[in-house]
């Protein structure tokens, strides 16, 4: 495929990464990230090889999904020296989404969207996925949002126009990663080993209740693999409806503990340590789960619960993925009630982040890698990056540890890449940048994917 111009610094262009101790050389990390992107989100076909004239081309065996890493995308055989306007449009049952950018065509008649700087666009730097993640359309509720981007197939059409003349058009079918994901609701009675009626979790001995949902990522080729204990982040795009499917694509089974939050900082759900212990016991008994590699995941309001679990069960949890939220255990919003109980006793909590006497919980006991992330322009929890920096100081760096600080990134740095969800609009006055937030998402999921892939291969 033809290339021109200097290489643009894509990874980390607006994301400042501080590695507690680098586990991979940058080139190897970039190669692995590319392999993950192609293997997870992309498989399929390019344009008709017999087509002539201006057209969009991608490498062979590429098909776009709604969770999308930047991949090569070019407009070729256009009029050299002209300026084209490329519009992305999606007409779906729930409304219409659009985005657009202009590009100057080079002397070879090519626009390389991965390398050429856009003009009059919602993103300032070269980005071959920019016209997809910058789509803007109607505001949807949580159920419709997940259905639209994680289950439906969305035909996004790119149209290149030179003035009033259409010169090229191509439709990309964005397939939702959650379309084939099948989960199992796990109830209290499921957690009890056969023949052990005395092992019910506390507070649930008299009523059978759902405690979470399990997604099995095992296959005939890999019957056993890593797992992720996820304290769900209910914020748009970051919840298990979006992230469980991606974790499963990386080869990890996922157990989702449901959480709610009214303000994005405090959780509104009560968790019992005995129940979490029983969940870990249950996963230990599954042939699909490699008990040596169970990670705990919590972002936004649920970060505090993931950190609590990593400290409470240090020998059973291999690593931690967290960010964009408070580290200390916060009381339920507007009260002094704890969200975590040990039997009938509430674990001490703080009413507000950063104003109590509790220091950042130490992460020294986490046996495996720790990946932390935040956006410097987080308006939901403005202290998010201070929290992550303080957390890193509680731990001697280990292989795989990363602190990812998204310069100019907004709160939603853990939404899977490519999704046009929870991104700041240009000029909205927040100080955050949509492209910087998207790049922070790529950094975070590259780091998570690398560690899970290593666990799969181990």
Series of mean pLDDT values for 10-residue runs along the chain (458 residues) = 38 43 38 43 45 90 86 96 98 95 97 98 97 96 96 97 97 92 94 67 64 95 96 97 96 97 95 97 97 97 97 96 95 94 93 68 91 97 94 93 97 98 88 96 98 94
* Whole-number pLDDT of residue 358: 57
424-to-10, 340, 438 alpha-carbon distances in Å: 20, 33, 10
Residues 168 and 200 in one domain: no
CB of 434 closer than 8 Å to CB of 123: yes
Domain residue limits at 165: 55-175
Here the CATH number for the domain that contains residue 105 is 2.60.40.2240
> What CATH number did the domain enclosing 371 receive?
3.40.50.1820
Please tell me whether residues 189 and 97 are part of one structural domain: no
Q: Looking at 175, 208, 225, which one is the last position of a domain?
A: 175
Residue 408, domain member (yes or no): yes
Residue 43 lies in a domain: no
Domain end position, chosen among 159, 175, 191? 175
- Residue 136 forms beta bridges with which residues? 98
Same domain flag for 296 and 322: yes
All residues at 6 or more sequence positions from 70 whose CB lies less than 8 Å from its CB, including other chains: 10, 37, 114, 127, 128, 129, 442
Q: Are residues 187 and 130 in the same domain?
A: no
The pLDDT value recorded for residue 430 is: 84
Quote the CA–CA distance of 307 and 264 in Å, as a whole number: 16
Q: Based on the domain organization, do 67 and 100 belong to the same domain?
A: yes
Tell me phi and psi for residue 97, to 5 degrees.
-120, 140
- Per the structure, how many domains does the chain have? 2
Write down which residue in 175, 201, 236 finishes a domain.
175
Residue 1 inside a domain? The answer is no
pLDDT of residue 429: 81
Which pLDDT does position 434 carry in this prediction? 97
Output the pLDDT for position 7. Answer: 38
| Pair (190, 167) in one structural domain | no
Burial class (CB in 10 A: 0-12, 13-18, 19+), 94: middle
Say yes or no: 164 and 113 in one domain.
Answer: yes
d(CA 160, CA 82): 12
Both 205 and 63 in one domain: the answer is no
Whether 16 is in a domain gets the answer no
Nearest by Cα to 401 from 439, 448, 347, 355? 448
pLDDT at 47: 52
Distance (Å, whole) CA 287 – CA 39: 25
User: Same domain, yes or no, for 130 and 194?
Assistant: no
The answer to whether residues 158 and 188 belong to one domain is: no
In a domain, 404, yes or no: yes
Question: What is the C-alpha separation between 319 and 323, in angstroms, rounded?
Answer: 14
321 and 423 within one domain = yes
Q: What is the three-class DSSP state of 371? A: strand
Q: Is residue 77 part of a domain?
A: yes
Q: How high is the pLDDT of residue 301?
A: 97
Residue 28 lies in a domain: no
Tell me if 257 is assigned to some domain: yes
On whether both 159 and 192 belong to a single domain, the answer is: no
DSSP 193-237: PTT-TT-PPTT-SSS--EEEEEE----SS-SSEEEEEEE---STT
């Amino acid at each position: 495929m033809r290339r021109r111009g200097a290489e643009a610094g894509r990874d980390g262009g607006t994301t400042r990464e501080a590695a507690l101790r680098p586990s991979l050389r940058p080139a190897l990390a970039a190669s692995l990230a590319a392999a993950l992107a192609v293997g997870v989100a992309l498989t399929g076909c390019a344009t008709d090889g017999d087509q002539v004239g201006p057209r969009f081309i991608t490498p062979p065996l590429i098909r776009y999904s709604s969770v999308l890493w930047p991949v090569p995308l070019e407009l070729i055989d256009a009029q050299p020296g002209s300026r084209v306007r490329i519009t992305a449009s999606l007409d779906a049952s729930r409304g219409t989404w659009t985005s657009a950018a202009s590009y100057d065509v080079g002397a070879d008649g090519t626009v390389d969207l991965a390398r050429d700087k856009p003009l009059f666009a919602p993103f300032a730097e070269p980005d071959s996925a920019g016209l997809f993640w910058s789509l803007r359309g109607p505001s949807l509720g949580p159920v419709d949002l997940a259905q639209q981007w994680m289950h439906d197939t969305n035909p996004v059409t790119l149209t290149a126009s030179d003035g009033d003349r259409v010169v090229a058009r191509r439709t990309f079918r964005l397939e939702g990663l959650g379309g084939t994901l099948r989960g199992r609701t796990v109830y209290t009675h499921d957690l009890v080993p056969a023949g052990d009626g005395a092992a019910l979790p506390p507070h649930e001995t008299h009523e059978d209740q759902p405690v979470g949902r399990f997604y099995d990522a095992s296959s005939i080729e890999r019957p056993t693999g890593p797992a992720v204990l996820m304290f769900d982040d209910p914020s748009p795009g970051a919840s298990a409806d979006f992230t469980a499917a991606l974790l499963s694509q990386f080869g990890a089974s996922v157990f989702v503990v449901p959480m709610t939050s009214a303000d994005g900082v405090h959780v509104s759900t009560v968790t019992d340590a005995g129940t979490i212990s029983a969940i870990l016991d249950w996963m230990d008994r599954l042939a699909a789960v490699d008990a040596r590699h169970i990670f705990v995941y919590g972002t936004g309001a649920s970060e505090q619960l993931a950190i609590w679990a990593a400290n409470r069960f240090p020998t059973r949890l291999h690593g931690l993925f967290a960010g964009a939220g408070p580290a200390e255990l916060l009381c339920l919003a507007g009260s002094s009630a704890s969200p975590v109980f040990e039997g009938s006793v509430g674990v001490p909590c703080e009413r507000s982040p950063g104003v109590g006497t509790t220091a950042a919980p130490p992460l020294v006991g986490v046996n495996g890698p720790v990946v932390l992330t935040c956006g410097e322009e987080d308006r939901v929890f403005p202290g998010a990056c201070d929290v992550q920096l303080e957390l890193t100081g509680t731990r001697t760096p280990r292989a795989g540890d990363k602190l990812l600080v998204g310069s100019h990134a907004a709160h939603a740095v853990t939404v899977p890449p490519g999704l046009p969800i929870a991104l700041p609009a240009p000029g909205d006055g927040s100080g955050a940048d949509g492209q910087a937030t998207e790049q922070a998402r790529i950094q975070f999921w590259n780091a998570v994917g690398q560690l899970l892939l290593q666990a799969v291969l181990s």
